[in-house]
Chains A and B, each alone.
Chain A
Amino acid sequence: MMRLSTGALVVLGAIAGFVLLVLYGPLFVAIFFSFFRFENNAVQWDSFSFDAYQSLMHDEGIIDAVLNTLLVGGVSVSLALVLGTALAFYYNASRSRHRDFLQLLIFLPFLMPPIITGLSLLVFFREADIPRSLVTVIIGHTVFVLALAYRIVLTRLQTIRASLVEASLDLGASRWQTFRFVLAPSLMSALGASAILAFALSFDETLITLLVTGTASTLPMRLWAMMRLGFTPDINALVTIILVGSTGLALLAIRFVGVAAPR
């Protein structure tokens, strides 16, 4: 865009530094206190240990929560990818005016505050007599991440030159063969990017989950419940593990999206 003058660079740099401190400072504090204890108004430097992490391993509630989170993420991401791809193809191929209505529907859960999405599903499940469980959580997450998968696939689909499809059909390929040999390969990176991003979203989803879940807990909910009781090294340890996981996922996603982004 432009080069900044030195003066502007210094001022903006100072603001950026402050923002980084605010964004990351709290997280580092949490990580720090997963290893050290804070007693008598001082950091106990000799208290370094992995005790907090070990006690997590024996907490069945947390292990359950981790498994639930992975299950919900895996299933809802898969569903959203299949459905999102199909809908992207439909939108791309449809010439009717009502396709924009369909698109709006898909985007709605992403655009509305999560509390609305969650509550409307809650009411729907009760009216339909579907008991709240992990199944309803999966439905909630699928609805939520569908927009993302749909959008990424559609964007990629629209950058594929029409002549490629025409050339394939012209050379005698069937529509299935055209999909298999021409479209699918160039969609793979978009699908990968969607999968990672959607999984990261699902992994962290709290508001909708809280409203549609039954007795089963996902990791953010488990964490929330623990946090109401106060601060313990255990929580800091769990926080650290989740942070490492979601940061890794985020970096992976950004890398993937960077590669997948059409130039």
Chain B
Amino acid sequence: MPRGDGLMSARAVEAVEAEAGSPGYRALITILAYALPVAFILLPLILFLIQSFFYVDHGDIVRELTLRNYERFFTGPAFLPVFLKTCALCLGVAVITVLVGYPVALLIASLAGRRKYVLMVIFVVPLMMSYIIKIYAIRAILGSNGFLNRILLFLGVIDEPLTFLIFNLQAVMLTLAVILLPFAMLPIFIALERIPRSLVDASFDLGASGLQTFRDVIWPLSAQGTIVGGTFVFVLAIGDFITPQMVGGANGFTFGRIIYSQFGFAFNWPFGAALSVILLVAVLIALGAGSLLARTRHQP
């Protein structure tokens, strides 16, 4: 956070605190501040973590701490492969969104004045449009009874509906990419916006071509935002269970769906919790790797 002298930080706070009263009063305020976040954010997470060490016996949860859920994840035939496949899938989603989102963000950032913001709004509005609807609409287009197939049939390009368009992992990947694209674009756009115009001017002034300027100035200075965007997309994609279910069908089984099923028909909450913890670890690794990558790309 900015802690400039003139800002409403330490200085004003001192002034306010000077008359803020006794230590007891301040302790009360602190307790009040923590009460709700601890009760509704921290406590559930801790309970959830503990739950992952319980196990289920004949449909009842046994409240004894054990590692058997984690053992099952590593030894069971299906869980680890699906987990790895899901990670690869989400990495793919992140790569696609960044590869497509970067050029678009670059284009928008290069525009002047009003046009820039109007265009950015056009690209960001879908981000706030109903997620379920986007899945639904994509499914309506790609499905075997969908819009695309009907057009192709009508045009005589194909004789019977294409089935590879939907209900497989590729369809999940593309759908997630479409839904999450604005999330990747936004940080990239912000990073590009933050590059002072004078740096680009200076590069040209020193004789660099457009490509050299991109390679040496614009890309290094926007790489951090790009990594943030990619990480963001990865994190959002890996926890999703509705998209895979809607467009993945029987062949689109992802880790998120396995977790969800433990809380649904499989009714093995402890095991689901353990799988979630593993998912969270993957997310943390992704966030850590992202920030590490971003830092080495930038100045010390």
Q: Is the interface of B mostly helix, strand, loop or mixed?
A: helix
Of A143, A220, A231, A239, which contacts B40 at CB under 8 A?
A143
Question: Cβ of A239 and Cβ of B137 under 8 Å apart?
Answer: yes
B164 contacts partner chain A, Cβ-Cβ < 8 Å: no
Pick the residue among A5, A158, A254 that contacts B7 (CB under 8 A).
A158
- Interface contact B41-A109, CB-CB below 8 Å: yes
A201 to B193, CA, bound (A): 25
- Which listed residue (A95, A164, A210) contacts B13, Cβ 8 A? A95
Determine the interface band of chain A, counting residues with CB < 8 A from chain B.
Answer: 35 or more
Chain A residues, CB < 8 A from B170: none
CB of A129 to closest CB in B, whole Å = 13
A41 nearest in chain B by CB position: B154
Structural contact, B129 and A165, CB atoms closer than 8 A: no
Provided the pairs A26-B134, A87-B33, A90-B33 are in contact, do residues A8 and B15 lie with their beta carbons within 8 angstroms? no
Cβ < 8 Å to A, chain B residues 116-142 = 117, 119, 121-134, 136-141
Decide yes or no whether B283 CB sits under 8 A from chain A.
Answer: yes
| Minimal Cβ-Cβ distance residue in B for A157 | B8
B258-300 CB contact bits vs A (8 Å, 1 = yes)?
0110010000010011001001100100010000000000000
A123 vs B147: C-alpha distance in the bound complex, in angstroms? 41
Report the Cα distance A20→B103, complex, angstroms: 13
- Check B107 for interface membership: any CB of A closer than 8 A: yes
Chain B interface, number of residues (Cβ within 8 angstroms): 98
B141 near A29 (CB under 8 angstroms)?
A: yes
B197 beta carbon closer than 8 Å to chain A: yes
Say whether B207 faces chain A, with CB atoms less than 8 Å apart.
no
B52 to A, closest residue via Cβ: A123
The answer to whether A105 and B239 have CB atoms under 8 Å apart is: no
A86 touches B100 (CB 8 A): no
Residues of chain A lying within 8 A (CB to CB) of residue B1: 154, 158
- Contacts A19-B101, A119-B259 aside, 8 further interface pairs with beta carbons under 8 A come to A113-B235, A113-B240, A119-B48, A119-B263, A124-B43, A161-B7, A162-B7, A250-B127
A interface residues with partner B (beta carbon < 8 Å): 1-5, 8-9, 11-13, 15-16, 19-20, 22-27, 29-30, 33, 38, 41-42, 83, 86-87, 90, 92-96, 102, 105-106, 108-109, 111-116, 119-124, 127, 139, 142-143, 154, 157-166, 169, 175, 200-201, 203-204, 206-207, 210-211, 220, 223-224, 227, 231, 235, 239, 242-243, 246-247, 249-251, 253-254, 258
